């Protein structure tokens, strides 16, 4: 059997190694248009920032190493330009010699990855403007920085690459402006959770411009002016264009393979394309979201590696299927970590899935043990058993914090994958010792809070509901924090009655009104709710507390105010 693989990195190289383990006698050839067959794609920004110091550390395998271990032919600087699926032949160009030749195959695996999106901005071809896709791009940016010593950089786009590049350029001593077209960065997060990303960027000296449209570039002497709609031009010595990626599926499209979202290659659960004996994996393929069961694009290394293994199994006659992906991801940004899995609010609404949510605030480990960090945990869940999901089933989660974020998102990712409910979260038994966790782990806490909401033990309202609720004539707002906390920031119109004095001051709270309770993180307001309910009051409390409200309002004040003005309308 002769197998041709187009593209290396996560998909192609992984599939090739798996193929060799399954079939010692197969002839396997990889064609890769760059100069590197297997490299740490996710580590590229960290080389530019100096966290990774050796160029060789980025390359996981050289073509010679790959051949020595697997007896697989790796031909770098070779681009496959066409596929004849009837004759089972690919046409290849040697990019160094420009020689063109044909290569036959029995099985063909496409792993072309994704390509950076480059909008048709005027001036986009200026040599000071870079995209980041591969090792060559990384070295080009690094060489430019070393030669030109830029003082000011503009990063356009607030996705993974844009955020990581902003951090690493800042750590090189370069002043960084990050411009994002949307009202928020980091779209795996809902806006309210992304406000913590905004705060982290600003706190670390990144100038953040959200909701801003770049219109083009103009060279003025040694400076590059970045034109921004309705804003003064931003001066830059270096620009990183990171507005997003698209499936690099032109080869498949030209061959007449069936395509889907954004032209991505359509595959079945065996990673087979619409053409016999042609498979595809990685960023260029359309897959199924394992939660919504609908087609999606998830350009992440983890799913690509799983798909590669499954494709190799099926090429070798083994029965193996890909059951979709939920998009679990994590981002390190300065001292913070931001992670998400499953559905956020936008994805749930787009899929027509009913959901509710809770926001909790937990320490990464026992607070009496030194070094505990804080985490904000937002979890989406199914409010009812609707035939698709069980009541309380975990649909997605987002976490912002310092230590322990990776550990908790992995548990919640497992919960989403396995269809666990809130009650089952409370029954989980994470390992506990004071340096690592608390007796009630943050994941358990999320389960308890969801269970309280589902059981009607407490009612909650959200940060964007506040203006609407404050217009109610029968509403009465009580802040149960300490007077000292209250003085640092408060909801206008609320009265301050600390929770520990609440039972003694019930006479100050009108029983005929609906009581809305506020505290810093929603723990004391929950306790206050239970006290007042026991005394015959109708009450609810602010999910996530005042600190969550404050973060959301300050993350993008204009956008947050508009959301609040929509009377609690769903986040767009």
Known catalytic residues are: 42
- Give the integer Cα–Cα distance in Å for 164 and 160: 6
- Give the integer Cα–Cα distance in Å for 387 and 385: 6
- Give the integer Cα–Cα distance in Å for 467 and 36: 55
- Give the integer Cα–Cα distance in Å for 17 and 294: 30
What is the phi/psi pair of residue 545, to 5°? 75, 180
- Give the integer Cα–Cα distance in Å for 132 and 155: 11
- Give the integer Cα–Cα distance in Å for 452 and 315: 50
Indicate the pairing of strand 175-180 with strand 59-61.
unpaired
Q: Token pair 């029995």 is at which residue?
A: 106
Contact 40, 58 (CB under 8 A): yes
Q: DSSP string of 517-549? A: EE-SSSHHHHHHHHHHHHTT-EEEEETTHHHHH
Question: Any idea what the Cα angle at residue 464 is, between residues 555 and 477, rounded to 5°?
Answer: 115
- Give the integer Cα–Cα distance in Å for 16 and 309: 9
Q: Which one, of 302, 314, 307, lies nearest residue 286 by Cα?
A: 307
What's the full length of the chain, in residues?
572
Q: Pull the structure tokens for residue 362.
A: 């937990």
Burial classification of residue 177, based on how many CB atoms lie within 10 Å of its CB (0-12 exposed, 13-18 middle, 19 or more buried): buried
Distance of CA 157 to the CA centre of its chain: 14
- Give the integer Cα–Cα distance in Å for 302 and 310: 13
Q: Pull the structure tokens for residue 189.
A: 């997060």
What 8-state DSSP symbol labels residue 369?
Answer: S
Q: DSSP string of 446-469? A: HHHHHHHHHTTS--EE-GGGHHHH
Burial classification of residue 478, based on how many CB atoms lie within 10 Å of its CB (0-12 exposed, 13-18 middle, 19 or more buried): buried
What 8-state DSSP symbol labels residue 439?
Answer: S
């Amino acid at each position: 059997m002769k197998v041709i693989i187009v593209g290396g990195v996560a998909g192609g190289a992984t599939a090739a190694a798996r193929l060799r383990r399954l079939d010692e006698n197969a002839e396997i050839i990889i064609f890769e248009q760059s100069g590197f067959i297997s490299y740490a794609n996710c580590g590229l920004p960290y080389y530019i920032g100096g966290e990774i110091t050796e160029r060789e550390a980025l390359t996981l395998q050289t073509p010679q190493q790959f051949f020595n271990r697997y007896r697989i032919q790796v031909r770098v600087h070779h681009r496959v330009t066409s596929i004849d699926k009837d004759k089972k032949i690919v046409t290849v160009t040697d990019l160094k010699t420009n020689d063109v030749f044909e290569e036959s195959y029995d099985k063909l695996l496409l792993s072309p990855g994704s390509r950076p999106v480059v909008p048709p901005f005027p001036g986009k071809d200026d040599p000071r403007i870079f995209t980041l896709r591969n090792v060559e791009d990384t070295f080009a940016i690094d060489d430019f920085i070393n030669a030109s010593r830029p003082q000011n950089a503009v990063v356009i786009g607030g996705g993974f690459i844009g955020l990581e590049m902003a951090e690493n350029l800042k750590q090189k001593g370069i002043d960084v402006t990050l411009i994002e077209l949307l009202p928020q960065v980091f779209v795996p997060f809902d806006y309210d959770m992304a406000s913590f990303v905004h705060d982290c960027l600003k706190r670390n000296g990144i100038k953040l411009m959200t909701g801003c449209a770049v219109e083009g570039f103009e060279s003025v002497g040694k400076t590059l002016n970045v034109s921004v709609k309705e804003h003064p031009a931003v001066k830059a010595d270096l620009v990183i264009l990171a507005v997003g990626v698209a499936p690099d599926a032109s080869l498949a499209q030209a061959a007449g393979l069936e395509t889907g979202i954004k032209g991505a290659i359509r595959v079945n659960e065996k990673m087979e394309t619409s053409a016999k004996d042609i498979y595809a994996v990685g960023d260029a393929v359309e897959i199924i979201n394992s939660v919504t069961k609908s087609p999606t694009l998830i350009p992440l290394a983890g799913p690509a590696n799983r798909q590669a293994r499954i494709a190799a199994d099926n090429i070798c006659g083994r029965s193996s299927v890909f059951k979709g992906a939920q998009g679990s991801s994590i981002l390190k940004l300065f001292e913070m970590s931001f992670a998400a899995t499953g559905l956020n609010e936008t994805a749930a609404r787009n899929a027509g899935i009913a959901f509710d949510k809770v926001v909790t605030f937990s320490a990464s480990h026992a607070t009496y043990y030194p070094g505990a960090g804080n985490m904000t945990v937002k979890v989406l869940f199914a409010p009812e058993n609707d035939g698709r999901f069980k009541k309380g089933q975990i649909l997605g989660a987002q976490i912002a914090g310092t230590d322990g974020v990776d550990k908790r998102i992995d548990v919640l990712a497992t919960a989403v994958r396995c269809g666990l409910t809130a009650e089952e979260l409370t029954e989980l038994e994470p390992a506990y010792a004071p340096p690592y966790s608390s007796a009630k782990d943050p994941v358990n806490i999320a389960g308890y809070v969801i269970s309280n909401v589902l059981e009607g033990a407490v009612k909650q309202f959200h940060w964007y509901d506040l203006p609407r609720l404050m217009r109610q004539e029968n509403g009465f707002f009580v802040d149960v924090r300490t007077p000292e906390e209250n003085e640092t920031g408060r909801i206008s119109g609320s009265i301050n009655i600390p929770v520990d004095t609440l039972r003694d001051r019930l006479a100050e709270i009108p029983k005929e009104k609906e009581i809305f309770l506020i505290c810093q993180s929603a723990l004391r307001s929950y306790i206050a709710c239970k006290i007042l309910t026991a005394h015959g009051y109708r009450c609810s409390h602010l999910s996530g507390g005042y600190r969550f409200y404050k973060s959301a309002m300050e993350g993008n004040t204009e956008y947050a105010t508009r959301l609040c003005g929509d009377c609690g309308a769903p986040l767009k």
